[in-house]
Structure 1
Amino acid sequence: MGERGWGWTPSKIRRVRFIEWLVPQSSSATYVPIKPFYDAQPDADALTTQVVHDELRELEQQSLIHLAAGLGGIEGFDALATAKGRLLAEDVQAGRADMRQRRAACRDAMVDWLSSQDASTSLRQPSRDLMLADPRYGTWLAEPFSEADLDAAAAWLRRQGLVDGVTVDECEGPVRLYLTDAGVLCAEEFCSDTVQYVAAQRSTASNAVTIHGPASGVVVGSHGVTQRAGDAVQTTQLDVAALARFADAVALALPALGLAPREQEDARILTGEIVQAASKLRPDQHKLRVLGQSLRTILEGTASNVLAATLLGLWHG
């Protein structure tokens, strides 16, 4: 249903909510009237019989429901959730329980929303709460972000230098805000992926390799290092499995590392990103190297910590 969980159309959000509504009522083989669900929608007046029919047909084509469409408009439509529909509902609800992903999603959505508002100057600072009025940005996995989510996201983005704006004593983050130049870069060059942007910035200084010998120089941000000496070619490939083990070990050890709250949060996000990226059939080695170097940078800040030093020995970049 979409990897990021936001950016969904109102129809897509409504379809997911419908599946969640239908599943608990589909414990038997009895079809369920769909009218009560659609009558309860805030835009019920705009949901014509044709709109409802098209949405239900799409769910049926995706094997998420069985549909019995009778005569007489919406009143004649009954549905039953399939096993695939139940699995979708379970996946969505499990995803919502991941607070780390929720926080990251809210930050990404906020950057993208500000970009869509062309809010890149102090002369244009929309109220952050207006984001909730646009379901494409204010909703994650078919559930609205909370005001607390927005406050935490705005505060984090400001700490990273991606936004600035007007603050009040009652809130941690700015209540009116705009993208800084860094925020615009994140939106335009990193598709509003704040974790990837921050990781890339941190790795810029640490991801430089100096090559000595016949082919001397400095390579920055490369997938690997290739050195030519005559006809010999040597390429350093990333050990994806070792990096994944490193990330897993760091994730387990986080509570004992004594990191500052901000660093612990960043490390938690990075470990999740690494494990997810490493599990793909064709891992993006460049992305993994950047994420891994960023995680090492955080741990290197606690070099006097014996546990951190041990973890750093698991993967050297």
Structure 2
Amino acid sequence: HRPVLWKILIDVIDMSTGLVINEIMNNPVNVTDSYGEWFELSNTGTDTIDMNGLTLKDDGGDQHTISQVGGLLLEPGEFVVFGVNDNPAENGGVTVDYVYSNFALGNGWDEIIIEHPTGAILDEVWYDNGASFPDPSGGSMMLIDPYSDNSLGANWMTSTVPFGDGDFGTPGSSNFSDNGFMVNVTVNDGWNLIGLPVMVSDSHYQSVFPNSVLGTLYGYDEVYTEQELLINGNGYWLRFNEDSEVTIEGSELSILSISLSEGWNLISGISQGIEVDDIDDPDNIVIPGTYYSFGETYTSASTLEPGKGYWVKANSAGIISITFSVF
């Protein structure tokens, strides 16, 4: 018989990565919701994203497909603000990049879902009326670390930065400025366990630790992998050629949720020293006595010091939380 010839046509679809729902103003105070609601997307990737054709929707009936002549581009490291009104005199003083319709943000429970034309979900946030997410009035909910899991309410906080007519938020810019809080970290000649104790806009390890050895940052997730960007809550190996003290400047980090895998994990803490007994472990996943620091040798750790990394062992996957309180 004659051979059968199959012709397969494959459409290559750009499934953009790095698109992050970064800030949400669902309940403004100084203007009505119908004028002052907005949310912000950031691009944590390395490629420019054209958002034309993407759909904004919730889990109900709200839906809007982005359509803008010339495209709606989001450059790496930049932000785009979506809002119901683009007149700063009416919307509370927000510079809105794109006006949507048929989409509203509930003051209690609601969802923001970014959908690709193929139906693939690029990012989504389901906030929950204060059960785990912030529940502000007059302030935005903002993602503490743009590289963290934005589906976890513990990774969000209420903005305290005033803008426009007096509400709080940072529309169109980083949620934090790299100033106002400094942490001094002592490092030794050779390999060190380190972490990022503040929030910064440039988390490249040689920006944070400029005297470190190039190409020596390693994270751990069952195996070691070379890294370039530091993430709050993660611990890393990093090498230095001499003993020194590094000053890290950024925005204070006083609350943090850390996802642990079963087995050994490399973690780090917040801007303040925290005793391991004060770490919230609601499911008792941390095996007692398994926090370890590293100097010239491994030492059992009773405190997580800012800027240092630590080993900890978990009996199952889960989340631990660190909170600093002055009381």
Tell me the TM-score normalised to structure 2 length: 0.27
Greater share of helix: 1
Q: Larger Cα Rg: Structure 1 or Structure 2? A: 1
Query: Structure 1-normalised TM-score?
Result: 0.27
More strand by share: 2
